Structure 1
Amino acid sequence: MATRHVYLVRHGEADAFGELTDTGRRQVSLLADRLAALPIDAVRHSPLPRAAASAAILGERLGVPAEEAAELIDHVPHVPDPMRPEWAGFFDGFDAAEAEAGARLADALTARFARPAETEVHEVLVTHAYQVAWMVCHALDAPPDRWLGLNSGNTALTAIDFPSVGVPRVILFNDMGHLPNELRWTGFGGGVKP
């Protein structure tokens, strides 16, 4: 029985121009240390600079070339209909064409990565918070609106297994055990940190 082991990672902290900060590079380095014990076959990344730079560091440290995967691009995967009042501000300005394009990208993401592989494979996917949330929702067969409540910290690790027999298994979600407290929850507003 072959299993696709997918390790989803949100990119390291980036500046307003999408470039990794020193903190982001440190986060990625600590993640690489954590992943080094695994038999990683591939490191794939979103085309955006913050994900590509994160993947380059991981690939170099893990001895696996980083490869771009267009399906991992940052996008809104699903626009709720009907819209709940608490979400209206977030989606203000999204039109029907953008919602359809996001749905197509979300379908492409799951079609490529949310399925078993022909042989046992361990893949690191460096992407963005919304794509991590979408993959978790898909694996759990959750309602599509549920992606909105799933947030991922920079370089947080989410692991999902897609076995050739049976249902997907979410092993980890948003695990930041490799990061010291001062590097956790970056990319989100202030507040209490667990």
Structure 2
Amino acid sequence: MATRHLYVVRHGAADAFDELTSVGQRQSELLGARLAGLPIDTVWHSPLPRAARSAQIVGSCLPGVAVREAAELVDHVPHVPDEIPSAWAGFFDGYDAEEAAAGARIADALISRFARPAEAETHEVLVTHAYPVAWLVRHALDAPPARWLGLDCGNAALTVIEHRTGLAPTLVLYNDMSHLPAELRWTGSGPGVRP
């Protein structure tokens, strides 16, 4: 039975101009080194500069592996709940029905393209953003749509999801940062005590 192995990662740390910082570049290098021992077929990335640059750096550690853009990996809000949790009210304030519908279409396209078995054994890296990572994890766990809220991930953190024909997806690893030294972990996340 063929397995589609998805190595889903959030881009490295970036500045307000959507460019990787020196920290983000180093995070991407360390992620690439971690993935170098795997039989990666393709590195896919969001069209946004921070993800594209992270993917290029990861790809440089994987000789001969194609690095390609996938529009479905763009940063987006995948689902707006009918009843907004009070802690998220400010986040969704002013979010209109048209924006919600556009985000839902991208989320559906993301799942349709990547969250399914492949005809042959594949190993694909998806360099994307925190919300699409959360949406893919929520889908793999068959959790309610609103459950993507609160699934945080650090920059260059590794999540692994496997898809096989006839079986539910397997969440192998979530938000793993063991390839990063302590000072490079949890960038892009809010304040708080982190392990």
TM-score under structure 1 normalisation? 0.98
Q: How does 1:1-194 map to 2 (within 5 A)?
A: 1-63=1-63, 64-194=65-195
User: Alpha-carbon deviation of 1:85?
Assistant: 1.7
Offset at residue 149 of structure 1 (A): 1.4
8 Å contact kept, 2:130–2:152: yes
How many Å separate the matches in 2 of 1:170 and 1:133?
12
> What SS does structure 1 have at the residue aligned with 2:127?
strand
Write out the 4+ residue segments of structure 1 that deviate beyond 4 Å after TM superposition.
none
Question: What 5-or-longer segments of structure 1 have no aligned partner?
Answer: none
Q: Tell me how far apart the structure 1 counterparts of residues 21 and 85 of structure 2 sit (CA, whole Å).
A: 35
What SS does structure 1 have at the residue aligned with 2:107? helix
Task: Write the distance in 2 (CA, Å) between the matches of 1:30 and 1:84.
Answer: 36
Whole-Å Cα distance in 1 between the matches of residues 116 and 166 of structure 2?
11
| 1:170 counterpart letter in structure 2 | L
Following TM superposition, by how much is the alpha carbon of 1:52 offset from its aligned partner in structure 2, in angstroms?
Answer: 0.2
**C-alpha distance in 1 between matches for 2:180 and 2:51:** 18
State the Cα distance separating 1:165 from its structure 2 match. 2.9
Shift in Å at residue 193 of structure 1? 1.9
- Partner SS for 2:103: helix
CA contact (8 A) 2:153 2:189 kept: no
Identical columns (%): 69
- Secondary structure of 1:62's aligned partner: coil
Q: What's the offset of the Cα at 1:82? A: 1.6
Instruction: Identify unmatched segments of 5+ residues in structure 2.
Output: none
Displacement of 1:171 after TM fit? 0.2
Measure, in 1, the Cα distance between the counterparts of 2:146 and 2:192.
Answer: 25
* Separation (CA, whole Å) in 2 of partners of 1:139 and 1:84: 23
Superposed displacement of residue 132, structure 1: 0.3
Mapped contact 2:32–2:60 kept (Cα < 8 A)? no
Query: How many angstroms does 1:73 deviate by?
Result: 0.3
AA in 2 matched with 1:69: A
Secondary structure of the corresponding residue to residue 113 of structure 2 = helix
CA-based RMSD: 0.7
Distance 2:85 2:37 in 1: 43
Q: Distance in 2 between matches of 1:84 and 1:160?
A: 28
SS of equivalent residue, structure 2 residue 25: helix
Give 1:83 shift.
1.7
Alpha-carbon distance in structure 2 between the residues aligned to 1:134 and 1:141: 10
| Letter matched to residue 19 of structure 2 | E
TM-score, reference length from structure 2: 0.98
Aligned length: 194
CA distances 1:61-105 after superposition (whole Å, capped 9, x unpaired): 112121000000000000010222221111011100000000000
Q: Structure 2: which amino acid aligns with 1:65?
A: A
Tell me, in whole angstroms, the C-alpha distance in 2 between the residues paired with 1:56 and 1:183.
19
Q: CA contact under 8 A between 2:4 and 2:117: conserved in structure 1?
A: yes
